[in-house]
Amino acid sequence: MWTLWALLQRSDHRGVKTAQHILSLFKNSQKPFSSRNISTVACQPLFGSPSSVLVSSRRAVSAGSNLFSVRWFADLPSYSILKMPSLSPTMKQGNIIDWKKKEGDKLSPGDVIADIETDKATMEFECQDEGYLAKILLKEGTQDVPIGKPVAIIVEDEEDVSAFKDVDPSQFLSEGASGSAAQQPTQQQTASQQQEKEEKKPQEAVSAARPPSSQTAAPQTKAQSQERDRTFASPYAKKLAYEKSIDISKVSASGPSGRVLASDVLSSSSEAQVTSEAVSSSAAYTDIKLSNMRKTIAERLLESKQTIPHYYLTATCRIDKLLQIREQMNSKAKNGEYKISINDFIIKACAVALQKVPEVNSQWLGNAIRRFYTVDISVAVETDSGLITPIVKDADRKGLRDISEEMKQLASKARENRLVPTEYIGGTFTVSNLGMFGVDQFSAIINPPQAAILAVGTSKKTVLPGHNGEVVVGNTLTVTMSCDHRVVDGAVGARWLKTFKDIIEKPINMLL
């Protein structure tokens, strides 16, 4: 027990140490504890006389001025911990919508344990092994659960379930989070030490850094110029100002020789916050909590605009023949068995154009450009949580009717949050259509790692020149292509857009 004794002597003023560290000492001890099945250990401060802690479930020892009790949670049966799974390649954390199983229920491979909201959709969390659900560690509605965090305990035998009835879930949750939490105090201590070191420098040291001759001999104009160009501040104060977006030159200095200290920055930040709250308190507003989908959208779009060199190409297409063919095709539908939209024609036209100009059907890998043989069109669909892009796979090989039916199904599943990862992850090109909202023209942000996206505006009647100089009225559609210049050169992008325009204006080209 000398190892445990040394640990207790190093405990903090409350006498609390994490169970993980104690367990690690037992595992690495030269004397194995084979006679006792230790599941967890709690180290707690006790107050009072030694006689008050002499109970069978505890071992009391003295460390300094405090009494400590080491309690053994012995004889817990063997168990396995069920952790938050990664249900999509882009998932970092998930929300527990509801539990489909209760504590004590039997589990079989393939059983749905819970519904998990990922960054894209609500997915079913399926069990992989047989057993019994002994303990639910996180309740329904728990949000932002990181991948790998314990969520439940499973045992093999039904009679072992009762052993976990009164077990505190926090002891299992802390084990899953100990890796990231252990470094935080060290970082805080380092920052605090740095601040104290910078702010406690004596005034003499600051004065000694500048020779007297240099202080008096410098012309006044030069001193004024230096004062304007440079603000003396401690490194930690500069770091705080940068993190809080504060202009350090406007912060009132309280340090020696006009030096800005960290406390000055924090004081300035507090004043700005009070002012901001005073201004905003007069306005009515609602803070909407970010969903996982909205967080992912924000991250990916920011990454796209910051890392992808966008350029834009715009063309106006005449769609009179397309509208005529669409009307003829829909008129042949019996009892409304299908209804082809303009967007279905656009998806098909994009797929055919990608076949003819395959350089656009590519993506940037950093050390290579990957060109795809298949044409999978991602289509932006609006949902309550944000935009999602279900994929029409092999669009170049499908007819307009097949594309229309598949898009209706995908859009319906997207709005009901029922898409599976294979239906929205991937894609080689994206179409974003805002024409139904009356938008004439817009530029879309590329959906990484794709190399291009087509933004489609609304169709409208426009006055156009005829063949013999007469003026005619025609239906036009304006599209804007956003390209990744690392993959798609300007001439290549222009060639693809011309090919797309030829197909839209003469829909028969879709069949060639």
**How far, in Å, CA of 173 to CA of 150, rounded?**
6
Residue of 119, 376, 485, 502 marked catalytic: 485
Beta bridge partners of 432: 455
204-209: long-range contacts (C-beta < 8 A, 24 or more apart)? 206/256, 206/257, 206/259, 207/257
Q: Phi first, then psi: give them for residue 53, nearest 5 degrees.
A: -115, 10
Question: Would residue 352 be called left, alpha or beta, if left means φ above 0 and alpha means ψ between -120 and 50 degrees?
Answer: alpha
Residue with tokens 């426009």: 462
Give the whole-angstrom CA distance, residue 427 versus residue 148: 28
Q: Write the DSSP assignment of 440-496 as a string of letters.
A: ----PPP-TTBSEEEEEEEEEEEEEE-TTS-EEEEEEEEEEEEEETTTS-HHHHHHH
Say whether 424 sits in a helix, a strand or coil. Answer: coil
Q: Which entry of 160, 320, 489, 502 is annotated as an active-site residue?
A: 489
d(CA 353, CA 319): 17
DSSP assigned state of 233: B
Give CA–CA dist 41/37, Å, rounded.
11
Q: Taking the CB of residue 13, how many other CB atoms lie within 10 A of it? A: 9
Annotated catalytic residue 485: yes
Pair of tokens at residue 302: 């920011």
Angle CA 298–301–306, to nearest 5:
120
Burial class from Cβ neighbours inside 10 Å (0-12, 13-18, 19+) for residue 478 reads buried
- Cβ 237 vs Cβ 198: under 8 Å: yes
The DSSP bridge pattern shows strands 112-117 and 122-126 to be antiparallel
**Angle ∠(206,208,209) on CA atoms, nearest 5:** 70
Contact 51, 44 (CB under 8 A): no
Which of 509, 511, 510, 506 has its CA nearest to residue 324? Answer: 506
Instruction: Work out the number of other CB atoms within 10 angstroms of the CB of residue 272.
Output: 13
Closest CA to 94 of 146, 141, 136: 146
Residue with tokens 């092999």: 394
Mark whether 489 is an active-site residue: yes
Number of alpha carbons in the 13 Å side-chain half-sphere of residue 209: 7
- The residues annotated with a catalytic role in the active site are 485, 489
